[in-house]
Amino acid sequence: MKMDSYFNTLYARYYQRVYYAALKVTRDSSLAEDILQETFMKAYDKLHEVKEEGKVGAWLSTIATRKAIDLLRKEKRHVYLPLEELPFSEPSSGVEELVELRLQTKEAIQLIAALPPKLRVVLKLGCMEGKSEKEIAEALDLTPACVKSRMYRARMALRNLSQHSHTA
């Protein structure tokens, strides 16, 4: 089968799956359509690297999900994905590694939730939303020095909480 014909078959078979993978992350149909096109453009260039035809759908969905996340990061939008749907850098990771990563993520979320609200909000804005100290200061009506201090205290508190949770 010629490459173009094969690609057209793949597009027809998987375009909906890829679109919905992008839509699930972006929650915006026009962005999902853009990501759909970018995904298939990348797939066309990398199609010769596909070893197992049965995994093409998952491969395309992963490309779409990662492109969607990258786009939202670039636009500084929030990325909402259920924990079990996060794309992992190594698709060949064993079950044990995936379980360990999920446990660590849940533990980190619990540790952050245990922080005092003043520290938690600064950490959330800085680390999770990528805002600068100046942007955080403006959003919370604080001085940049206060934000820097709270960010430091939040990191130290997380380190202490983490150490205590591992020794308990």
pLDDT higher than threshold 50 for residue 39: yes
Mean pLDDT value of segment 1-9? 72
pLDDT recorded at residue 145 = 92
Kindly report the CATH class assigned to 97-167.
mainly alpha
The whole-number average pLDDT for the span 107-111 is 74
For residues 101 and 133, is the Cβ–Cβ distance under 8 A?
no
At 139, list the tokens: 């959003």
| pLDDT confidence bin for 139, thresholds 50/70/90 | confident
User: Among 34, 3, 7, 9, which Cα is nearest to 19's?
Assistant: 34
DSSP 82-113: -GGGPPPS-TT--HHHHHHHHHHHHHHHHHHH
Confidence of residue 92 (pLDDT cuts 50, 70, 90): very low
Structural contact between residues 83 and 94, judged by C-beta atoms closer than 8 angstroms: no
**pLDDT tens, position by position, 113-123:** 788 888 888 88
Residue type (1 letter), 159: R
Burial of 121 (0-12, 13-18, 19+ CB in 10 A): middle
Q: Do domains 3-82 and 97-167 have the same CATH topology?
A: no
pTM (2 decimals)? 0.45
- In Å, how far are 19, 25, 97, 118, 154 from 123, measured between CA atoms? 33, 23, 27, 9, 7
For 79-83, 98-102, 130-134, 139-143, which range has the lowest pLDDT when averaged over its residues? 79-83
Question: Among candidates 166, 36, 29, 48, which has minimal Cα distance to 108?
Answer: 166
Q: Name the amino acid, one letter, at 105.
A: T
Residue type present at position 49: E
3-82, CATH topology level: Rna Polymerase Sigma Factor; Chain: A (1.10.1740)
The pLDDT value recorded for residue 162 is: 74
The model's pLDDT over 48-82, given as tens digits with 9 standing for 90+, comes to 777 777 778 888 888 888 888 887 777 665 444 55
- Listed by start position, the domains of the chain span 3-82, 97-167
Long-range contacts of 78-86 (CB under 8 A, 24+ apart): 78/129, 79/25, 80/25, 80/27, 81/24, 81/25, 85/24
Please determine, for residue 7, whether its predicted confidence score (pLDDT) is greater than 80. no
